[in-house]
Structure 1
Amino acid sequence: MRALVIEDDVDLQGQIRDQLRAEGFAVDATGDGEEGLFFAEEYSIDVAIIDLGLPGKNGMEIIREARAAGRDFPILILTARTRWQDKVEGLEAGADDYVVKPFQPEELMARVQALVRRSRGWSKPVLEVGDISLDTAGQEVRVAGAPVSLTAYEFRVLQQLMLRAGDVVSKTELYEHIYEEDDERDSNVIEVFIRRLRTKLDPNGDRQPIETLRGRGYRLLRPETS
Protein backbone atom coordinates (compact mmCIF):
# COMPACT_ATOMS: atom_id res chain seq x y z
CA MET A 1 0.00 0.00 0.00
CA ARG A 2 1.07 3.56 -0.63
CA ALA A 3 0.50 6.43 1.79
CA LEU A 4 0.84 10.17 1.37
CA VAL A 5 1.91 12.28 4.36
CA ILE A 6 1.53 16.08 4.16
CA GLU A 7 2.97 17.53 7.38
CA ASP A 8 5.28 20.53 7.74
CA ASP A 9 6.71 19.57 11.14
CA VAL A 10 9.84 17.78 9.95
CA ASP A 11 10.25 15.64 13.07
CA LEU A 12 6.61 14.59 13.14
CA GLN A 13 6.62 13.91 9.41
CA GLY A 14 9.64 11.65 9.84
CA GLN A 15 8.04 9.78 12.74
CA ILE A 16 4.85 9.14 10.79
CA ARG A 17 6.80 8.12 7.68
CA ASP A 18 8.88 5.63 9.69
CA GLN A 19 5.79 4.20 11.42
CA LEU A 20 4.01 3.72 8.12
CA ARG A 21 7.01 2.02 6.56
CA ALA A 22 7.23 -0.28 9.57
CA GLU A 23 3.59 -1.18 8.86
CA GLY A 24 4.45 -2.14 5.28
CA PHE A 25 3.48 1.08 3.47
CA ALA A 26 5.39 2.80 0.70
CA VAL A 27 5.36 6.48 1.72
CA ASP A 28 5.51 9.79 -0.16
CA ALA A 29 5.93 12.76 2.19
CA THR A 30 6.11 16.54 1.93
CA GLY A 31 5.70 19.58 4.13
CA ASP A 32 4.51 21.89 1.36
CA GLY A 33 0.83 22.25 0.58
CA GLU A 34 1.22 22.87 -3.15
CA GLU A 35 3.47 19.86 -3.59
CA GLY A 36 1.14 17.80 -1.41
CA LEU A 37 -1.81 18.61 -3.67
CA PHE A 38 0.24 17.59 -6.71
CA PHE A 39 1.04 14.25 -5.07
CA ALA A 40 -2.61 13.78 -4.09
CA GLU A 41 -3.84 14.41 -7.62
CA GLU A 42 -1.11 12.58 -9.56
CA TYR A 43 0.03 9.59 -7.48
CA SER A 44 -1.71 6.27 -6.85
CA ILE A 45 -2.46 6.73 -3.16
CA ASP A 46 -4.19 4.26 -0.83
CA VAL A 47 -4.50 6.68 2.11
CA ALA A 48 -3.46 10.27 2.89
CA ILE A 49 -2.57 11.87 6.23
CA ILE A 50 -2.91 15.64 5.95
CA ASP A 51 -2.10 18.36 8.47
CA LEU A 52 -4.45 21.34 8.34
CA GLY A 53 -1.91 24.10 8.98
CA LEU A 54 0.48 24.04 6.02
CA PRO A 55 2.54 26.56 4.04
CA GLY A 56 1.58 27.21 0.42
CA LYS A 57 -1.87 25.66 0.62
CA ASN A 58 -3.64 24.58 3.78
CA GLY A 59 -4.95 21.10 4.45
CA MET A 60 -8.58 22.02 4.00
CA GLU A 61 -7.86 23.38 0.51
CA ILE A 62 -5.91 20.25 -0.41
CA ILE A 63 -8.80 18.02 0.66
CA ARG A 64 -11.42 20.03 -1.23
CA GLU A 65 -9.36 20.24 -4.41
CA ALA A 66 -8.36 16.58 -4.34
CA ARG A 67 -11.98 15.53 -3.95
CA ALA A 68 -13.05 17.95 -6.70
CA ALA A 69 -10.47 16.26 -8.95
CA GLY A 70 -12.15 12.91 -8.31
CA ARG A 71 -9.57 11.47 -5.91
CA ASP A 72 -11.46 9.14 -3.58
CA PHE A 73 -8.74 7.59 -1.39
CA PRO A 74 -9.40 7.83 2.38
CA ILE A 75 -8.05 10.94 4.11
CA LEU A 76 -7.14 11.31 7.78
CA ILE A 77 -6.71 14.85 9.13
CA LEU A 78 -4.02 15.78 11.64
CA THR A 79 -4.97 18.85 13.61
CA ALA A 80 -3.91 20.73 16.72
CA ARG A 81 -7.31 22.46 16.72
CA THR A 82 -9.68 21.24 19.39
CA ARG A 83 -12.85 23.11 18.35
CA TRP A 84 -15.48 20.66 17.19
CA GLN A 85 -16.40 23.07 14.39
CA ASP A 86 -12.94 22.60 12.83
CA LYS A 87 -13.34 18.83 12.89
CA VAL A 88 -16.77 19.04 11.30
CA GLU A 89 -15.45 21.39 8.61
CA GLY A 90 -12.70 18.91 7.77
CA LEU A 91 -15.12 16.01 7.49
CA GLU A 92 -17.49 18.06 5.36
CA ALA A 93 -14.59 19.02 3.08
CA GLY A 94 -14.11 15.34 2.30
CA ALA A 95 -11.92 13.86 5.03
CA ASP A 96 -12.85 10.48 6.48
CA ASP A 97 -11.37 10.73 9.98
CA TYR A 98 -9.19 12.95 12.14
CA VAL A 99 -6.63 12.70 14.93
CA VAL A 100 -5.94 15.57 17.32
CA LYS A 101 -2.32 16.38 18.18
CA PRO A 102 -0.62 15.19 20.29
CA PHE A 103 -1.60 11.60 19.57
CA GLN A 104 -0.37 8.09 20.26
CA PRO A 105 1.38 6.46 17.28
CA GLU A 106 -0.61 3.27 17.82
CA GLU A 107 -3.90 5.13 17.50
CA LEU A 108 -2.80 6.82 14.28
CA MET A 109 -1.71 3.53 12.70
CA ALA A 110 -4.89 1.76 13.79
CA ARG A 111 -7.03 4.48 12.21
CA VAL A 112 -4.99 4.47 9.00
CA GLN A 113 -5.24 0.70 8.63
CA ALA A 114 -8.98 0.79 9.34
CA LEU A 115 -9.54 3.48 6.70
CA VAL A 116 -7.69 1.47 4.06
CA ARG A 117 -9.57 -1.73 4.89
CA ARG A 118 -12.98 -0.05 4.86
CA SER A 119 -12.22 1.68 1.55
CA ARG A 120 -11.79 -1.80 0.03
CA GLY A 121 -14.80 -3.35 1.77
CA TRP A 122 -13.00 -5.11 4.62
CA SER A 123 -14.01 -4.64 8.25
CA LYS A 124 -11.45 -6.76 10.13
CA PRO A 125 -7.66 -6.37 10.42
CA VAL A 126 -7.13 -9.95 9.23
CA LEU A 127 -7.92 -10.41 5.53
CA GLU A 128 -9.05 -13.92 4.61
CA VAL A 129 -9.41 -15.31 1.12
CA GLY A 130 -9.94 -19.07 1.10
CA ASP A 131 -7.31 -20.52 3.42
CA ILE A 132 -4.95 -17.56 2.97
CA SER A 133 -4.99 -15.03 5.81
CA LEU A 134 -3.06 -11.77 6.04
CA ASP A 135 -2.85 -9.83 9.30
CA THR A 136 -2.52 -6.16 8.32
CA ALA A 137 -1.52 -5.14 11.86
CA GLY A 138 0.89 -7.96 12.67
CA GLN A 139 2.09 -8.29 9.06
CA GLU A 140 1.75 -12.04 9.22
CA VAL A 141 0.61 -14.38 6.47
CA ARG A 142 -0.72 -17.88 6.99
CA VAL A 143 -1.90 -20.58 4.62
CA ALA A 144 -4.18 -23.20 6.17
CA GLY A 145 -2.99 -21.95 9.56
CA ALA A 146 0.72 -22.39 8.79
CA PRO A 147 2.92 -19.26 8.82
CA VAL A 148 4.47 -18.15 5.52
CA SER A 149 7.57 -15.94 5.46
CA LEU A 150 7.42 -13.11 2.92
CA THR A 151 9.74 -10.23 2.09
CA ALA A 152 8.42 -6.69 2.53
CA TYR A 153 7.66 -6.30 -1.18
CA GLU A 154 6.08 -9.75 -1.46
CA PHE A 155 3.83 -8.79 1.46
CA ARG A 156 2.83 -5.51 -0.25
CA VAL A 157 1.96 -7.30 -3.50
CA LEU A 158 -0.10 -9.95 -1.72
CA GLN A 159 -1.88 -7.32 0.36
CA GLN A 160 -2.90 -5.42 -2.78
CA LEU A 161 -4.19 -8.63 -4.36
CA MET A 162 -6.09 -9.63 -1.22
CA LEU A 163 -7.66 -6.21 -0.71
CA ARG A 164 -8.99 -6.53 -4.26
CA ALA A 165 -9.58 -10.28 -4.25
CA GLY A 166 -11.58 -11.38 -7.28
CA ASP A 167 -10.59 -8.26 -9.27
CA VAL A 168 -7.89 -8.00 -11.92
CA VAL A 169 -4.97 -5.85 -10.76
CA SER A 170 -2.66 -4.63 -13.50
CA LYS A 171 1.11 -4.73 -13.27
CA THR A 172 1.15 -0.93 -13.43
CA GLU A 173 -1.21 -0.68 -10.46
CA LEU A 174 0.96 -3.00 -8.44
CA TYR A 175 4.05 -0.94 -9.27
CA GLU A 176 2.34 2.28 -8.26
CA HIS A 177 0.97 0.98 -4.99
CA ILE A 178 4.07 -0.77 -3.64
CA TYR A 179 6.84 1.66 -4.60
CA GLU A 180 7.68 5.15 -3.44
CA GLU A 181 8.27 7.75 -6.13
CA ASP A 182 12.07 7.76 -5.85
CA ASP A 183 12.47 3.97 -5.81
CA GLU A 184 14.23 2.34 -8.73
CA ARG A 185 11.87 -0.01 -10.55
CA ASP A 186 12.88 -3.10 -12.46
CA SER A 187 10.48 -3.82 -15.32
CA ASN A 188 10.42 -7.54 -14.47
CA VAL A 189 10.23 -7.33 -10.69
CA ILE A 190 6.45 -7.79 -10.41
CA GLU A 191 6.69 -11.09 -12.28
CA VAL A 192 9.42 -12.16 -9.84
CA PHE A 193 7.26 -11.29 -6.83
CA ILE A 194 4.26 -13.14 -8.27
CA ARG A 195 6.38 -16.21 -9.00
CA ARG A 196 7.74 -16.20 -5.44
CA LEU A 197 4.26 -15.77 -3.97
CA ARG A 198 2.95 -18.71 -5.97
CA THR A 199 5.78 -20.87 -4.69
CA LYS A 200 5.28 -19.84 -1.07
CA LEU A 201 1.47 -19.89 -1.02
CA ASP A 202 1.06 -23.00 -3.14
CA PRO A 203 4.29 -25.06 -2.98
CA ASN A 204 2.64 -28.15 -4.47
CA GLY A 205 1.05 -26.23 -7.32
CA ASP A 206 -2.36 -27.81 -6.80
CA ARG A 207 -4.35 -24.73 -5.69
CA GLN A 208 -3.03 -21.95 -7.96
CA PRO A 209 -4.56 -19.01 -6.03
CA ILE A 210 -3.06 -16.30 -8.26
CA GLU A 211 -4.31 -16.17 -11.83
CA THR A 212 -2.46 -14.43 -14.68
CA LEU A 213 -4.61 -12.71 -17.29
CA ARG A 214 -2.34 -12.07 -20.23
CA GLY A 215 -2.07 -8.39 -21.08
CA ARG A 216 -4.31 -7.42 -18.15
CA GLY A 217 -2.66 -8.37 -14.87
CA TYR A 218 -3.19 -10.70 -11.95
CA ARG A 219 -6.13 -11.83 -9.84
CA LEU A 220 -6.27 -13.53 -6.45
CA LEU A 221 -9.06 -16.01 -6.86
CA ARG A 222 -11.82 -16.21 -4.29
CA PRO A 223 -12.92 -19.81 -3.54
CA GLU A 224 -16.18 -19.34 -5.42
CA THR A 225 -14.36 -18.13 -8.58
CA SER A 226 -11.55 -20.66 -8.57
Structure 2
Amino acid sequence: MRYLIAETSWDMMTLAQELVTNGTLLTRTDRPEDLEHYAKIGEVDLIILPATQLGHDGVTLDSLRAANRRAPIALIARNASSEQRAKWLTAGADTVIDPSGDHDEALARLQALARRAHGLGRPVLQYGPLRIDLMHRRAHIGDVRLKLTPKVYELLEFIALRPGRLVTRESLLSHIYGLENEPDPRVFDVYMCNLRAQLSASGGAVDIETARGSGFRFVAECLDEAAIAA
Protein backbone atom coordinates (compact mmCIF):
# COMPACT_ATOMS: atom_id res chain seq x y z
CA MET A 1 0.00 0.00 0.00
CA ARG A 2 1.02 3.64 -0.37
CA TYR A 3 0.67 6.30 2.33
CA LEU A 4 0.84 10.07 1.88
CA ILE A 5 2.77 11.58 4.80
CA ALA A 6 3.66 15.14 5.83
CA GLU A 7 7.23 15.13 7.13
CA THR A 8 7.11 18.39 9.05
CA SER A 9 8.58 17.34 12.40
CA TRP A 10 11.04 14.91 13.91
CA ASP A 11 8.15 12.66 14.97
CA MET A 12 6.86 12.53 11.39
CA MET A 13 10.31 11.88 9.88
CA THR A 14 10.90 9.07 12.39
CA LEU A 15 7.53 7.52 11.54
CA ALA A 16 8.25 7.79 7.82
CA GLN A 17 11.55 5.97 8.23
CA GLU A 18 9.88 3.19 10.19
CA LEU A 19 7.25 2.80 7.49
CA VAL A 20 9.90 2.62 4.76
CA THR A 21 11.80 0.00 6.74
CA ASN A 22 8.55 -1.94 7.01
CA GLY A 23 8.24 -1.90 3.21
CA THR A 24 5.36 0.58 2.93
CA LEU A 25 5.37 2.81 -0.14
CA LEU A 26 5.36 6.50 0.77
CA THR A 27 4.58 9.74 -0.96
CA ARG A 28 6.45 12.23 1.22
CA THR A 29 6.29 15.99 1.44
CA ASP A 30 7.72 18.59 3.79
CA ARG A 31 5.31 21.17 2.36
CA PRO A 32 1.93 20.59 4.03
CA GLU A 33 0.27 22.93 1.57
CA ASP A 34 0.94 20.27 -1.09
CA LEU A 35 -0.94 17.53 0.78
CA GLU A 36 -4.27 18.27 -0.86
CA HIS A 37 -2.71 18.25 -4.34
CA TYR A 38 -0.90 14.95 -3.76
CA ALA A 39 -4.02 13.38 -2.24
CA LYS A 40 -5.96 14.34 -5.33
CA ILE A 41 -3.54 13.17 -8.02
CA GLY A 42 -1.99 10.09 -6.42
CA GLU A 43 -3.09 6.56 -5.64
CA VAL A 44 -2.81 6.60 -1.85
CA ASP A 45 -4.40 4.32 0.74
CA LEU A 46 -3.85 6.51 3.81
CA ILE A 47 -3.07 10.15 4.63
CA ILE A 48 -0.89 10.88 7.68
CA LEU A 49 -0.18 14.34 9.07
CA PRO A 50 0.60 16.02 12.39
CA ALA A 51 -2.47 17.41 14.14
CA THR A 52 -0.56 20.67 14.70
CA GLN A 53 -0.73 21.27 10.95
CA LEU A 54 -4.51 21.57 10.88
CA GLY A 55 -5.57 25.15 10.21
CA HIS A 56 -2.21 26.12 8.72
CA ASP A 57 -1.29 26.49 5.03
CA GLY A 58 -4.90 25.78 4.09
CA VAL A 59 -4.81 22.24 5.51
CA THR A 60 -8.09 21.04 7.01
CA LEU A 61 -9.70 17.66 7.45
CA ASP A 62 -12.50 18.76 5.13
CA SER A 63 -10.10 19.80 2.35
CA LEU A 64 -8.18 16.52 2.56
CA ARG A 65 -11.40 14.52 2.57
CA ALA A 66 -12.63 16.41 -0.48
CA ALA A 67 -9.34 15.76 -2.29
CA ASN A 68 -9.50 12.00 -1.69
CA ARG A 69 -12.71 10.56 -0.28
CA ARG A 70 -11.42 6.98 -0.20
CA ALA A 71 -8.24 7.42 1.86
CA PRO A 72 -8.55 7.40 5.67
CA ILE A 73 -6.83 10.20 7.61
CA ALA A 74 -4.52 9.56 10.57
CA LEU A 75 -3.45 12.41 12.83
CA ILE A 76 -0.22 12.25 14.83
CA ALA A 77 -0.42 14.15 18.14
CA ARG A 78 1.78 13.97 21.21
CA ASN A 79 0.05 14.15 24.62
CA ALA A 80 -3.32 15.30 23.26
CA SER A 81 -6.16 15.47 25.75
CA SER A 82 -9.10 13.10 25.41
CA GLU A 83 -11.31 16.11 24.63
CA GLN A 84 -9.04 17.22 21.80
CA ARG A 85 -8.81 13.71 20.35
CA ALA A 86 -12.59 13.44 20.44
CA LYS A 87 -12.86 16.81 18.66
CA TRP A 88 -10.55 15.70 15.85
CA LEU A 89 -12.36 12.38 15.43
CA THR A 90 -15.71 14.16 15.31
CA ALA A 91 -14.31 16.58 12.72
CA GLY A 92 -13.37 13.76 10.36
CA ALA A 93 -10.09 12.15 11.43
CA ASP A 94 -10.15 8.34 11.37
CA THR A 95 -7.61 7.86 14.14
CA VAL A 96 -5.27 9.84 16.39
CA ILE A 97 -1.90 8.30 17.30
CA ASP A 98 0.52 9.45 19.98
CA PRO A 99 4.10 9.03 18.66
CA SER A 100 5.40 8.53 22.19
CA GLY A 101 3.55 5.20 22.41
CA ASP A 102 4.62 1.78 21.17
CA HIS A 103 5.83 2.08 17.59
CA ASP A 104 4.88 -1.46 16.54
CA GLU A 105 1.33 -0.80 17.70
CA ALA A 106 1.27 2.49 15.80
CA LEU A 107 2.38 0.80 12.58
CA ALA A 108 -0.21 -1.95 13.05
CA ARG A 109 -2.96 0.62 13.65
CA LEU A 110 -2.03 2.51 10.49
CA GLN A 111 -2.04 -0.64 8.39
CA ALA A 112 -5.34 -1.74 9.89
CA LEU A 113 -6.87 1.61 9.00
CA ALA A 114 -5.61 1.44 5.42
CA ARG A 115 -6.73 -2.12 4.78
CA ARG A 116 -10.16 -1.64 6.35
CA ALA A 117 -10.79 1.04 3.77
CA HIS A 118 -10.60 -1.92 1.35
CA GLY A 119 -13.00 -3.97 3.49
CA LEU A 120 -10.33 -6.17 5.08
CA GLY A 121 -10.42 -7.06 8.75
CA ARG A 122 -7.20 -9.10 8.63
CA PRO A 123 -3.98 -8.55 6.62
CA VAL A 124 -4.65 -11.48 4.31
CA LEU A 125 -6.16 -11.79 0.84
CA GLN A 126 -7.25 -15.28 -0.21
CA TYR A 127 -8.38 -16.12 -3.74
CA GLY A 128 -8.59 -19.87 -4.17
CA PRO A 129 -5.00 -21.15 -3.93
CA LEU A 130 -3.53 -17.63 -3.94
CA ARG A 131 -2.80 -16.17 -0.52
CA ILE A 132 -1.36 -12.65 -0.15
CA ASP A 133 0.11 -11.65 3.21
CA LEU A 134 -0.19 -7.85 3.32
CA MET A 135 1.76 -7.49 6.56
CA HIS A 136 4.83 -9.44 5.43
CA ARG A 137 4.47 -8.49 1.75
CA ARG A 138 4.58 -11.95 0.25
CA ALA A 139 2.32 -14.28 -1.68
CA HIS A 140 1.87 -18.04 -1.96
CA ILE A 141 0.06 -20.36 -4.32
CA GLY A 142 -0.69 -23.35 -2.19
CA ASP A 143 2.43 -24.02 -0.15
CA VAL A 144 4.78 -22.43 -2.70
CA ARG A 145 5.96 -18.88 -2.09
CA LEU A 146 6.02 -16.72 -5.22
CA LYS A 147 9.35 -15.12 -6.08
CA LEU A 148 8.24 -11.50 -6.37
CA THR A 149 10.47 -8.45 -6.53
CA PRO A 150 9.18 -5.48 -4.46
CA LYS A 151 7.77 -3.78 -7.57
CA VAL A 152 6.01 -6.91 -8.82
CA TYR A 153 4.60 -7.56 -5.35
CA GLU A 154 3.18 -4.02 -5.27
CA LEU A 155 1.61 -4.59 -8.67
CA LEU A 156 -0.06 -7.79 -7.44
CA GLU A 157 -1.21 -6.23 -4.15
CA PHE A 158 -2.71 -3.18 -5.84
CA ILE A 159 -4.70 -5.10 -8.42
CA ALA A 160 -5.74 -7.90 -6.02
CA LEU A 161 -7.16 -5.32 -3.60
CA ARG A 162 -9.50 -4.30 -6.42
CA PRO A 163 -10.81 -7.66 -7.70
CA GLY A 164 -12.95 -7.53 -10.80
CA ARG A 165 -12.40 -3.79 -11.25
CA LEU A 166 -10.73 -2.23 -14.25
CA VAL A 167 -7.35 -0.81 -13.21
CA THR A 168 -5.60 1.50 -15.64
CA ARG A 169 -1.90 1.33 -16.41
CA GLU A 170 -1.64 4.94 -15.21
CA SER A 171 -3.11 4.14 -11.79
CA LEU A 172 -0.77 1.16 -11.38
CA LEU A 173 2.26 3.25 -12.27
CA SER A 174 1.11 6.05 -9.97
CA HIS A 175 0.80 3.61 -7.09
CA ILE A 176 4.09 1.81 -7.63
CA TYR A 177 6.25 4.82 -8.44
CA GLY A 178 4.41 7.70 -6.81
CA LEU A 179 6.07 10.97 -7.80
CA GLU A 180 9.27 9.26 -8.94
CA ASN A 181 10.26 8.94 -12.57
CA GLU A 182 8.29 6.15 -14.16
CA PRO A 183 10.18 3.42 -16.06
CA ASP A 184 10.26 2.73 -19.74
CA PRO A 185 6.90 1.12 -20.68
CA ARG A 186 8.75 -2.05 -21.61
CA VAL A 187 9.90 -2.43 -18.00
CA PHE A 188 6.31 -2.38 -16.81
CA ASP A 189 5.42 -5.01 -19.44
CA VAL A 190 8.20 -7.22 -18.07
CA TYR A 191 6.74 -6.86 -14.56
CA MET A 192 3.30 -7.86 -15.78
CA CYS A 193 4.60 -10.83 -17.77
CA ASN A 194 6.57 -12.00 -14.75
CA LEU A 195 3.53 -11.77 -12.51
CA ARG A 196 1.26 -13.59 -14.96
CA ALA A 197 3.81 -16.36 -15.37
CA GLN A 198 3.88 -16.94 -11.62
CA LEU A 199 0.09 -16.81 -11.29
CA SER A 200 -0.17 -19.50 -13.97
CA ALA A 201 0.76 -22.00 -11.24
CA SER A 202 -2.79 -21.55 -9.94
CA GLY A 203 -4.08 -23.51 -12.93
CA GLY A 204 -6.35 -20.67 -14.03
CA ALA A 205 -7.89 -20.07 -10.61
CA VAL A 206 -6.49 -16.52 -10.66
CA ASP A 207 -5.33 -14.40 -13.57
CA ILE A 208 -4.88 -10.83 -14.79
CA GLU A 209 -6.91 -9.96 -17.89
CA THR A 210 -5.96 -7.20 -20.27
CA ALA A 211 -8.70 -4.80 -21.35
CA ARG A 212 -7.05 -3.59 -24.52
CA GLY A 213 -6.55 0.15 -24.51
CA SER A 214 -8.05 0.47 -21.02
CA GLY A 215 -6.04 -1.44 -18.44
CA PHE A 216 -6.13 -4.66 -16.44
CA ARG A 217 -8.54 -6.66 -14.32
CA PHE A 218 -7.76 -9.19 -11.58
CA VAL A 219 -10.02 -12.22 -11.97
CA ALA A 220 -10.52 -15.27 -9.77
CA GLU A 221 -12.83 -18.26 -9.83
CA CYS A 222 -14.45 -17.13 -6.57
CA LEU A 223 -14.98 -13.41 -6.12
CA ASP A 224 -17.41 -13.40 -3.23
CA GLU A 225 -17.18 -12.54 0.46
CA ALA A 226 -15.41 -15.81 1.18
CA ALA A 227 -12.64 -14.86 -1.25
CA ILE A 228 -11.35 -12.21 1.14
CA ALA A 229 -10.15 -13.32 4.55
CA ALA A 230 -11.99 -10.88 6.81
AA at the equivalent of 1:35: D
**Structure 1 position 70, deviation (Å):** 5.1
Number of aligned pairs? Answer: 223
**Structure 1 position 102, deviation (Å):** 0.9
Summarize the Cα distance change of 1:204–1:93 in structure 2 as closer, same or farther, 3 Å threshold.
closer
Separation in 1, partners of 2:25, 2:43: 11
**Structure 1 position 58, deviation (Å):** 6.7
Separation in 2, partners of 1:134, 1:15: 28
What residue number does 2:6 align with?
6
TM-score of the two chains, using structure 1 as the length reference: 0.87
Could you list the runs of 5+ residues in structure 2 that have no partner in the other structure?
A: 224-230
What residue number does 1:27 align with?
26
AA at the equivalent of 2:184: D
Separation in 2, partners of 1:113, 1:139: 12
**Structure 1 position 20, deviation (Å):** 2.2
Structure 2 residue 170 is matched with structure 1 residue 176:
no
Moved over 4 A (4+): 203-208
| Residues 190-209 of structure 1 aligned to structure 2 (within 5 Å) | 190-203=188-201, 206-207=204-205, 209=207
AA at the equivalent of 2:64: A
Separation in 2, partners of 1:58, 1:100: 23
Contact 2:139 2:146 in 1 (8 A): yes
The one of 84, 87, 92 equivalent to 2:85 is 87
Contact 2:76 2:96 in 1 (8 A): yes
AA at the equivalent of 1:201: L
**Structure 1 position 51, deviation (Å):** 0.6
Residues 43-90 of structure 1: CA deviation (Å, up to 9, x unaligned): 22211111111398279x432212234533111110114211211222
What residue number does 2:226 align with?
none
**Structure 1 position 138, deviation (Å):** 1.4
What residue number does 1:153 align with?
151
TM-score of the two chains, using structure 2 as the length reference: 0.86
The one of 105, 122, 125 equivalent to 2:123 is 125
AA at the equivalent of 1:28: T
Contact 1:134 1:142 in 2 (8 A): yes
What residue number does 1:42 align with?
41
State the superposition RMSD in angstroms: 2.4
AA at the equivalent of 1:2: R
Identity %: 29
**Structure 1 position 207, deviation (Å):** 4.8
**Structure 1 position 159, deviation (Å):** 0.5
Summarize the Cα distance change of 1:192–1:56 in structure 2 as closer, same or farther, 3 Å threshold.
farther
